[in-house]
A and B are shown apart, each in its own frame.
Chain A
């Protein structure tokens, strides 16, 4: 199993370690609910170094990115980040990703750990015009430092004015004494904060400095368990659960990153799908009666007829109610529609809601 540069730290901190996408990763340190709360109300640090990073460089880098991704990367400027996906040729999604424009000819793509090899091969297949591609995943440490107190907690470590950075922008600068750190105002929690990319050799030093600087703000390490509950409360898709090789970005509610201002892989078919309308839609589910929706549970109408499937679900730590996401037939996708989730042979009442989930 692969490790990150910080695996020993997590073990020393008493984390419960689990295999995830081939990596030995911390799922929790003290408990998912407490860690979730730390990020929502304060500041917490996730080691998400298992994520993949590719550098694409050259005259034709933008053209390649435009070909393989669904969002319009021509809209990017230096220091801007964009959420996007890699459509496949059969209507589904190879992966979802972040696209960073470093300069006009240099981009960084951040992809899911479980898809690094698949994405690399997929993008390479379209690289017919000599774009220089580099996979820096194994030497890159990524810390997601998330929460409303993140900017305050980290400000003493850098001259970059963290408080003034706009969402989905990044700066390269000195951070915790290390040069060329990518400081990105992004995240997967909806709590605000930063994602910090740097070379593995600085991992322990930066980790220690982040915790020293954040101490008076109550900074804590956070595991992947809380990462999942935090993203789910926001209705952010998780590749492998809510989107995969067979779900279309339009079905998944990712129309906002599917831009027909340009041609891209499978754009003709997706355009047609948009015109025809989708048959199923990814929706938020909030349980009305007692029960927790879970991945792969059946969604039915009041008579028990199958109308879809749950893709993610949990007891929401912030809202203290059971929430989920799932695909339902289009006619059941309207906000407020009463649906049922089949939980251990019982039909439990739920309603369709529009994420983010709120109290």
Chain B
């Protein structure tokens, strides 16, 4: 499985890509594979500040519903508009077109898991 080294990861299977004081967040290839076909991404926190480890939305596969957790404290700027009509992008391209939210934040993501650490967590 692919866990790009330029990203940081959480044990909850989110990835975060930091660019200045903004960041993009999605779920890992492992997470999408465990969930199966994604059919709905529900994010009702746009415009709100959500703290680290808190739920910023929900992702639904055919059979299951899972919460999405913030890797860092930040303000949710937008939900990936493509996911409304093509939630399957999370399966097809979890680190690219299947990103979930963009946030603004002032902290650092350095303390999160590296790709090697995350790979060890999921046993790959």
In the complex, which of the residues A28, A290, A292 contacts B36, with contact meaning CB atoms closer than 8 Å? A28
In the bound assembly, the distance between CA atoms of A228 and B91 in angstroms comes to 21
Q: Which of B44, B60, B63, B65 contacts A32 (CB 8 A)?
A: B63
Check A228/B63 contact, CB under 8 A, given A291-B42, A344-B42, A344-B58.
yes
A229 within 8 A of B: yes
Cα of A24 to Cα of B69 in the assembled complex, Å:
31
On chain A, the residues within 8 Å of B44 by CB distance are 344, 346
Q: Report yes or no: B40 in contact with A32, Cβ–Cβ below 8 A.
A: no
A33 within 8 Å of B by Cβ?
Answer: yes
A34-63: CB near B (< 8 Å → 1, else 0) gives 000000000000000000000000000000
| Alpha-carbon separation in the docked complex, A190 to B91 (Å) | 28
Contact across chains for A315 and B58 when beta carbons are under 8 A apart: no
Is A31 in the interface zone, CB < 8 Å from B? yes
Q: Are B63 and A31 in contact (CB under 8 A)?
A: no
Is there a chain B Cβ closer than 8 Å to A156's Cβ?
no
Per-residue 0/1 for A17-31: is the Cβ within 8 Å of any B Cβ (1 yes, 0 no)? 000000000011001
- In the complex, which residues of chain A have a beta carbon less than 8 angstroms from the beta carbon of B60? 292, 315
Task: Tell me if A225 counts as interface (CB < 8 A to partner B).
Answer: yes
Q: A51 to B40, alpha carbons, bound, how many Å? A: 32
B122 to chain A, nearest CB (A): 15
Mask: chain A, 180-219; 1 = CB below 8 Å from B; 0 = not: 0000000000000000000000000000000000000000
Identify which of residues 80-96 in chain B touch chain A, using a CB-to-CB cut-off of 8 Å.
91
A225-B62, A225-B63, A315-B62 known; A32-B37 Cβ under 8 A: yes
* B residues 1-51 touching A (CB-CB < 8 Å): 36-37, 39-40, 42, 44
> In the assembly, what is the distance between CA of A294 and CA of B62, in Å?
10
Report the Cα distance A324→B65, complex, angstroms: 15
Q: In the bound complex, what is the Cα–Cα distance between A317 and B60 (angstroms)?
A: 13
Within 8 A of B (CB), among A104-152: none
The distance from the CB of B49 to the nearest CB of chain A, in whole angstroms, is 19
Cross-chain contact B42 with A314 (CB below 8 angstroms): no
Contact partner of A31 (CB less than 8 A), chosen from B36, B42, B65, is B36
Is the pair A292, B63 in contact by a Cβ cutoff of 8 Å?
A: no
CA distance A290 to B87 in the complex (A): 13
When distances are taken between beta carbons in the complex, the residues of chain B under 8 Å from A292 are 39-40, 60, 65
Instruction: Give chain B residues whose Cβ lies under 8 Å from the Cβ of A228.
Output: 63
- In the complex formed, the residue of A with least CB distance to B91 is A31
Name, among A315, A317, A322, the residue most crowded by chain B CB atoms within 10 Å (CB to CB).
A315
Min CB distance B80 to A, Å, is 15
Q: Quick check: A225 and B40 within 8 Å, CB to CB? A: no
> Inside 8 A of B91's CB, which chain A residues have their CB?
31
Complexed CA–CA distance, A346 and B42 (Å): 12
What are the residues of chain B within 8 A of A290 when measuring CB–CB? 40, 42
A32 in contact with B62 (CB, 8 Å): yes
Name the interface residues of B59-74: CB closer than 8 Å to any CB of A. 60-63, 65
Please state if A33 and B62 are interface contacts (CB–CB under 8 Å): yes
Separation of A291 and B41 alpha carbons in the complex (Å): 9
Whole-angstrom CA separation of A31 from B90 in the bound complex? 14
Residues of A within 8 A of B39 (CB): 292, 315
Chain A residues near B61: list those with CB within 8 A. Answer: 32
- Give Cα distance in the complex from A291 to B91, angstroms: 19
Q: How far is the CB of A350 from chain B (nearest CB, A)?
A: 15
Question: Contacts A228-B63, A292-B60; is A31 near B40 (CB within 8 Å)?
Answer: no
Chain A contacts for B42, CB-based, 8 A: 290-291, 344
Task: Indicate if the CB atoms of A294 and B65 lie closer than 8 Å.
Answer: yes
**Bound-state Cα–Cα, A344 to B63, Å:** 17
Q: How would residues 283 to 324 of chain A score, 1 for a CB under 8 Å from any chain B CB and 0 otherwise? A: 000000011101000000000000000000011010000100
Assess the A229–B62 pair: CB atoms within 8 A.
yes
By the criterion CB–CB under 8 Å, are B37 and A31 in contact? yes
A31 partner residues in chain B, CB cutoff 8 A: 36-37, 91
B residues with a Cβ closer than 8 A to A are 36-37, 39-40, 42, 44, 58, 60-63, 65, 91
8 contacts across the A-B interface (CB closer than 8 A):
A27-B63, A32-B37, A32-B61, A32-B63, A33-B37, A228-B63, A292-B40, A315-B62
Chain A positions near chain B (C-beta within 8 angstroms): 16, 27-28, 31-33, 225, 228-229, 290-292, 294, 314-315, 317, 322, 344, 346
